[in-house]
Amino acid sequence: MKFGLAYSIQSPTKEWSQAYDNVVEQTLLAERLGFDSVLISEHHLTDDGYFPSPLVVAAGLSSVTRRIRVGTAVVLVPLHHPVEVAEAAAVTDVMSRGRLILGLGLGYRPEEFNLYNVPRRERGPRLEEGTTLIRRLLSEENVTFSGRFYKVNKVTLTPRPVQRPPPIWIAAKFEPAIRRAARIGDAWFADPVTPLKVLKERNNIYLDELKRIGRDPAMLERPLWREAYVAGSDDEAWEVAKDGVLYIYGRDYFRWGHLQDEEGREVNPQNTSFEEFAETLRKRFIIRGVDGFIDEVEKYRREIGTNYFVFRIYFPGMRHDKALDAIRLIGTKIIPYFEEDKKPSGAGIP
């Protein structure tokens, strides 16, 4: 079993340098305590300054760490040229001496597609074509590629990455995207908000596609992002995490149509009370005391075969010391419990 941290670096008070410094300190603690990775997310046009350049942050974190993997969760590929992504990924892999995890995804916010003048309806084919080109640029020399959106002729990307290529995780939620992730990714990166019942259905889709194309899931990392916090008790954990979780899901993801009920339907803010909304979040995420936290991790491992948990434990407005407390508990109580299950990374796509 592997464990990582995910960060959306943002600051309601616009103290962005301090927010980054806090993430650096948390990353250094996580490295000392045996976490496997730290991954940075991407969004644009938010008034709290949600950091829009995850590979820049990953490169920065690589410069102050030595062992822990750094990466993205995720780069929104349709908003960028694949050569740009591949170059930044190669530099980050060089700076980290081969520790990059390259998480890639579609994106979904209309504001972001409008900003980049990219038709939202093209995001699926742009992701597939872009990922194919990114992988080739990071793996091969003299790459010639002619697709619907991108064309390159005899390109050798420099500097060359240490990993050729770095592992590529593909975020996906619905059946066509999950099947695409099985075909073009080294892992399907399951999202933080989908309920377990629906995750199980989608996991079966993923396994079916892997079987169809002849890939063995036992050889792959099976990452799942979950919002999380751990403290001395369930109530204490919720009390600490509640405001930050509600900030993100009430202000951002709920408004962006990113929260589902237990059947996978979009939760409509117009007919959901605040109390119902908060209770849905509390049940959905791994915000527990130590024993309950372990039980939740065991549940996802048992039900969908997760072998790599990525937790966001630092929410906007949360005190830095409270995030450090959660990292310490995960590092001293949760990771050692699962230590015997830790295995080398699975094989990537040739």
The average pLDDT across 240-266 equals: 76
Map tokens 């900003």 to a residue.
115
Confidence of residue 262 (pLDDT cuts 50, 70, 90): confident
Q: Is the pLDDT of residue 270 over 90?
A: no
Question: Strand, coil or helix: what is 143?
Answer: strand
- Residue 38 burial (C-beta neighbours within 10 Å; 0-12, 13-18, 19+): buried
Half-sphere exposure of 328 (CA within 13 A, CB side): 9
Cβ distance 169 to 187 under 8 Å?
A: yes
For the chain, how many residues are written?
A: 350
Task: Report residue 123 as tokens.
Answer: 């995001």
pLDDT tens profile 136-166: 999 999 999 999 999 999 999 999 999 999 9
Task: Please give the pLDDT value at position 342.
Answer: 53
Mean pLDDT score across all residues of the chain: 93
Return all residues near 280 (Cβ < 8 A) that are at least 6 apart.
Answer: 259, 261, 267, 272
Q: Is the pLDDT of residue 345 over 50?
A: no
**How far from 94 is each of 45, 68, 81, 169, 324, CA to CA, in Å?**
30, 14, 20, 19, 29
Cβ distance 168 to 134 under 8 Å?
A: yes
Rounded to whole angstroms, how far apart are CA atoms 149 and 133?
A: 11
Cβ distance 348 to 168 under 8 Å?
A: yes
Q: How would you classify the pairing of strands 151-155 and 143-146?
A: antiparallel
Could you state, in order of their start, the residue ranges of all structural domains in the chain? 2-238+287-341
Report DSSP letters for 67-92, one per residue.
SSEEEES-EEGGGS-HHHHHHHHHHH
Cβ distance 112 to 45 under 8 Å?
A: yes
pTM, two decimals, is 0.94
Cβ distance 246 to 333 under 8 Å?
A: no
**How far from 229 is each of 5, 44, 327, CA to CA, in Å?**
11, 26, 9
The average pLDDT across 217-245 equals: 97
pLDDT tens profile 177-226: 999 999 999 999 999 989 999 999 999 999 999 999 999 999 999 999 99
pLDDT tens profile 96-142: 999 999 999 999 999 999 999 999 999 999 999 999 999 999 999 99
State in Å, rounded, how far the first CA of the chain is from the last one: 24
Rounded to whole angstroms, how far apart are CA atoms 127 and 67?
A: 30
Q: Which helix (H) or strand (E) holds 170?
A: strand 168-171
What does the angle CA 266 – CA 268 – CA 274 come to, to the nearest 5 degrees? Answer: 120
Q: Is the pLDDT of residue 285 over 50?
A: yes
Return all residues near 233 (Cβ < 8 A) that are at least 6 apart.
Answer: 289
Our CA dihedral for 67, 185, 156, 117, rounded to 10 degrees, sits at: -110
Instruction: Output the CATH code of domain 2-238+287-341.
Output: 3.20.20.30
